[in-house]
């Protein structure tokens, strides 16, 4: 799965490149504003991110922590349930609902699970046909009815059938549009109730499908669905086809909901679990030059110096070689020349040997220096602390406000007035109790 998200960010990266064509080690806040807006991060979120950056130079690590903080709702915990696991899929027509249902079913099949589909969008004949086509293609059972029939009856029958057959997963499609929004809300609520009647606790999760090419304009629509039925997680489709990948930050932030999967193509295998780290790194890789680590820097410096030493012209030594081979010597040619040199030009040879010895000593010293630098860095307790701090901030989705000392820092959740003190104790960072 790894790499699909980054690959799908191609169009978003192209958009970013129009305002930041060259990779750098840091950006100014003005440059950052342009970049985020170009990637379709909503303006109000861009403002929040900029407000929380206190540094003049925005480095990769600073931006990374801010972007990850906007995705802090990304964690989803599966509820306790008795099989089958029932999922209701909602979203406007054209968002990619049918295709995503097929992809989900395909993924479950790959995990060795059994799946049954419910064609609950009874408003559109085409929706029933399309889902049936996918079910046939994937060789999955489907419960459907004629257009205009009661969608909750389809949901009930689908769950009932799955229970009777011992099927692991039920995925139910729903209408994306009815004559009025009120009708749609009533229908979705009714399906919800009926699912619970068919199988207590169902639906176990309700997923909202958002068309990634719509960017931020999908937020209002998503909020409406959340109010109507209550959404547990979001799937963003068509990430591969949008230049608005940055809207994922604003969608997750505005809805306070986890993004569970992203669609990365039209085929059943193109549904990828949303990995926030891969997503953020995929964007940052397009912006920032890779920083060289201290050890590498030292090693590079030394090898540069070494190159200079090596390229220094060696003292010219005119050596007259013996042309006639020694008849009784049975040594290899090079060895022979060496012997010959020693024998014939002792002074010059001494000079060459001295130069060689000096170089060897230098090389040994250089290797020792690199080892010493490495040891110092490895032994530096602050480095360990810094790495642990970085990890803690990312895991807890916190932003570093201020280091009070090497062992104490002030942190904050993005966009909240609560500052918290954390301390380094017993080899790890933790909240000060
Ligand atoms: P529905 O009306 O919401 O059921 O939408 P469909 O599932 O019929 O999808 C609408 C169109 O979007 C179809 O042409 C799909 O092939 C396409 N589509 C869906 N998901 C993706 C995706 O992740 N990437 C791309 N490139 N196209 C997608």
Nearest CA to ligand 1 atom 9: 96
Q: What angle do CA 259, 264, 265 make, to 5 degrees?
A: 140
In whole angstroms, give the CA distance from residue 179 to residue 107: 34
- Are the C-beta atoms of residues 84 and 170 closer than 8 Å to each other? yes
Q: Report pLDDT for 348.
A: 52
Residue 336: pLDDT above 60? no
**Confidence class for position 230, pLDDT limits 50, 70, 90:** very high
In whole angstroms, give the CA distance from residue 390 to residue 392: 5
Nearest CA to ligand 1 atom 11: 96
Beta strand pairing status for 169-173 and 205-211? unpaired
Whole-prediction pTM: 0.71
Residue 246: pLDDT above 70? yes
Atom of ligand 1 minimally distant from the CA of 271? 23
In whole angstroms, give the CA distance from residue 142 to residue 270: 22
Residue 420: pLDDT above 70? yes
- Are the C-beta atoms of residues 167 and 114 closer than 8 Å to each other? yes
Mean pLDDT lowest among 118-122, 273-277, 354-358: 354-358
* Beta carbon of 97 within 6 Å of any ligand 1 atom: yes
CA of 112 to the centre of ligand 1 (A): 25
- pLDDT tens-digit map of 45-76: 999 999 999 988 999 999 999 999 999 876 78
- Residue of 10, 92, 99, 272 to test ligand 1 pocket, by largest number of atoms within 8 Å of CB: 99
Say how far residue 31 (Cα) sits from the centre of its chain: 23
* Beta carbon of 93 within 6 Å of any ligand 1 atom: yes
Residue 95: pLDDT above 90? yes
CA of 264 to the centre of ligand 1 (A): 10
Residue 376: pLDDT above 80? no
- Are the C-beta atoms of residues 116 and 159 closer than 8 Å to each other? no
- pLDDT tens-digit map of 165-190: 999 999 999 998 877 888 899 999 99
In whole angstroms, give the CA distance from residue 343 to residue 215: 82
Q: Report pLDDT for 313.
A: 40
* Beta carbon of 95 within 6 Å of any ligand 1 atom: yes
Residue whose token pair is 């020693």: 342
**Confidence class for position 390, pLDDT limits 50, 70, 90:** confident
Q: Report pLDDT for 342.
A: 35
User: Higher confidence at residue 335 or residue 268?
Assistant: 268
* Beta carbon of 124 within 6 Å of any ligand 1 atom: no
Written in H, E and C, the secondary structure of 350-404 is: HHHHHHHHHHHHHHHHHHHHHHHHHHHHHHCHHHHHHHHHHHHHHHHCEEEEEEC
Nearest CA to ligand 1 atom 26: 265
Residues 6+ apart with CB under 8 A from 342: 349
* Beta carbon of 266 within 6 Å of any ligand 1 atom: yes
* Beta carbon of 99 within 6 Å of any ligand 1 atom: yes
């Amino acid at each position: 799965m790894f790499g699909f998200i980054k690959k799908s960010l191609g169009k978003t990266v192209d958009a970013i490149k129009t305002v930041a064509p060259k990779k750098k080690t840091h950006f100014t806040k003005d440059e950052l504003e342009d970049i985020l807006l170009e990637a379709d991060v909503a303006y109000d979120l861009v403002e929040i991110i900029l407000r929380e950056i206190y540094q003049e130079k925005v480095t990769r690590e600073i931006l990374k922590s801010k972007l990850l903080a906007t995705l802090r709702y990304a964690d989803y915990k599966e509820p306790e349930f008795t099989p089958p696991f029932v999922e209701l899929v909602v979203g406007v027509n054209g968002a990619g609902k049918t295709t995503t249902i097929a992809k989900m079913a395909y993924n479950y099949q790959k995990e060795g699970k059994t799946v049954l589909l419910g064609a609950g969008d009874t408003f559109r004949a085409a929706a029933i046909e399309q889902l049936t086509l996918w079910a046939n293609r994937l060789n999955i059972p489907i419960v459907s009815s004629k257009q205009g029939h009661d969608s909750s009856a389809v949901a009930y029958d689908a769950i009932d059938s799955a229970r009777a057959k011992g099927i692991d997963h039920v995925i139910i499609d729903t209408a994306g549009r009815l004559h009025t929004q009120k009708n749609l809300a009533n229908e979705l609520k009714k399906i919800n109730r009926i699912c619970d009647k068919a199988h207590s606790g169902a639906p176990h999760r309700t997923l909202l499908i958002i068309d990634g090419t719509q960017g931020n304009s999908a937020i209002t629509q998503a909020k409406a669905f959340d109010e109507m039925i209550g959404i547990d997680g979001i799937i963003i489709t068509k990430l591969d086809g949008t230049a608005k990948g940055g809207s994922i930050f604003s969608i997750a932030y505005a809805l306070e909901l986890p993004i569970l999967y992203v669609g990365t193509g039209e085929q059943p295998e193109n549904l990828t679990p949303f990995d926030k780290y891969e997503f953020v790194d995929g964007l940052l890789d397009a912006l920032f030059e890779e920083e060289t680590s201290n050890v590498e820097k030292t090693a590079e410096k030394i090898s540069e110096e070494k190159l200079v030493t090596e390229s220094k012209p060696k003292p010219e030594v005119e050596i007259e070689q013996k042309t006639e081979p020694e008849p009784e010597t049975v040594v290899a040619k090079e060895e022979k020349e060496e012997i010959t040199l020693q024998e014939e030009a002792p002074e010059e040879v001494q000079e060459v040997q001295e130069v060689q010895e000096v170089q060897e000593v230098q090389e040994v010293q250089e290797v020792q220096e690199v080892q010493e630098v490495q040891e110092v860095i490895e032994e530096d307790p602050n480095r360990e602390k810094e790495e642990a701090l970085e990890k803690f901030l990312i895991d807890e989705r916190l932003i570093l406000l201020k280091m009070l000392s090497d062992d104490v820092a002030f942190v904050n959740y993005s966009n909240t007035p609560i500052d918290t003190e954390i301390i380094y104790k017993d080899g790890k960072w933790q909240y000060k109790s």
